[in-house]
Amino acid sequence: MVWRILRRLLILVISTAAASFLTFWVLFDGCGPARTRLGIGATEDSVAQLCRELGLDRSMASQYLDWAGGILHGDFGVSYISGRALGPQILDQLSVTLWLVAGAMVVAVLLAVPWGLFSALFHRRIWGTLLSAGSQIGVAVPAFLAAILLVLLFSVHLGWLPPNGYQVPGADFGGFLSHMVLPWLALGIVQAAVLARYVRSAVLDESGQDYLRTARSKGLTRLDALVRHGLRNASIPVLTVIGVQLVTILVGAVVVEYVFAIPGIGAGLADAAKRQDLLNVQGIVVVLVVIALVVSFLVDLAYTLIDPRMRTTADGGRA
């Protein structure tokens, strides 16, 4: 098991290094940022002078090493467009997005587990059919449409919740919750519909296993047998889906943040791309990629801890 974790850590490090280089290479534009900063009326001499001042005339390899080395120390550089330090700005935006992603994931899991469980338990009855149909409809609804519908219902018609905006949790926690309920629901309900289908499939697969038949023969109801003995095994394939959904929610947050005017990293990425602030875009993209890789590593680690079979090597020994 230890060697498996170490191998996964090595893969994580190599993947992170490769992803950071590809991000920098794809977005590398030589003296382009200097030309963007000076505007379309700038002369070639002024562009060349600013390019030298910003160090953009150096080789791509040299610039990448400086950029990557700075990120390892938490320094994302200074924006070529605004002149502001990018590290604190990206971290502030990331903290907002993580609140959004965490809340949406909690909503998704809390809805999906009973949704999928009862869909499986009653799959031959009308209630199970209706629950399955509801999850199918939810899969087809994009997050931005769910956000708009929720705003129309709870903000415009009922007036229960604010339609947009953001409050810092430390300054006004009640206001923070009231502003985040709709974004959490918009992201969480859509992902819950996807996750519920996997929960249903996993529970149905486990329901036919011999150990559950034995548990039921001892007097347990079908629901009790599943809860006590089946959910652990059913959670193994679902865990992988949850890891993928975390990344999906992170990507979906870009649109939802715009709908609700939330100053998160998705809105920051869109704004940086619009202003052609390449250094800012590079920093945000590499942060998102690293988060996705870390989530994949943690899912694999949790997979190993939950499933004893993953701790056994191919020759029958312990990993």
Which pLDDT band holds residue 222 (cuts at 50, 70, 90)?
Answer: low
E strand or H helix that includes residue 303 = helix 278-306
**pLDDT at residue number 64:** 87
* pLDDT recorded at residue 303: 67
Identity at 222, one-letter amino acid code: R
69-97 pLDDT tens trace? 888 888 888 887 777 888 888 888 888 88
pLDDT band at 317 (very low <50, low <70, confident <90, very high): very low
pLDDT digits (tens, 9 = 90+) for 189-211: 888 888 888 888 877 776 666 66
CA distance 182 to 148: 10
pLDDT at 316 over 80: no
One-letter amino acid at 294 equals: V
Please report, rounded to a whole number, the percentage of residues in the chain having pLDDT higher than 70.
85
Task: Tell me the percentage of the chain whose pLDDT exceeds 90.
Answer: 0
**Pair 194, 138: CB distance under 8 Å:** yes
Is the model's pLDDT at 184 over the cut of 50? yes
Count of all residues that appear for the chain in the document: 319
Q: Would you call 257 helix, strand, or coil by DSSP?
A: helix
The answer to whether 183 and 100 are in contact (CB under 8 A) is yes
Tokens of 224: 């009790």
Report which of residues 185 and 308 the model is more confident about.
185
CA distance 176 to 155: 16
Which two three-digit tokens encode residue 24?
A: 């920098």
How many CA atoms lie less than 13 Å away from 203 in the CB half-sphere? Answer: 26
Q: What are the domain boundaries of the chain?
A: 11-72, 87-274
Reply yes or no on whether the pLDDT at 223 is more than 80: no
Note the pTM of the prediction, 2 decimals: 0.76
Rounded to an integer, the average pLDDT of 169-191 is 85
What are 109-147's pLDDT values in tens digits?
A: 888 888 887 787 777 778 777 877 877 777 777 777 888
Helix (H) or strand (E) holding 89: helix 86-121
Q: Output the DSSP codes for 142-206.
A: -HHHHHHHHIIIIIIIS--S-SS----TTT-HHHHHHHHHHHHHHHHHHHHHHHHHHHHHHHHHH
36: left (phi over 0), alpha (psi -120 to 50) or beta: alpha
Burial grade of 2 (CB within 10 A; 0-12, 13-18, 19 or more): exposed
| Contact criterion met (CB below 8 Å) for 189 and 146 | yes
pLDDT at 318: 46
- Class in CATH terms, 87-274: mainly alpha
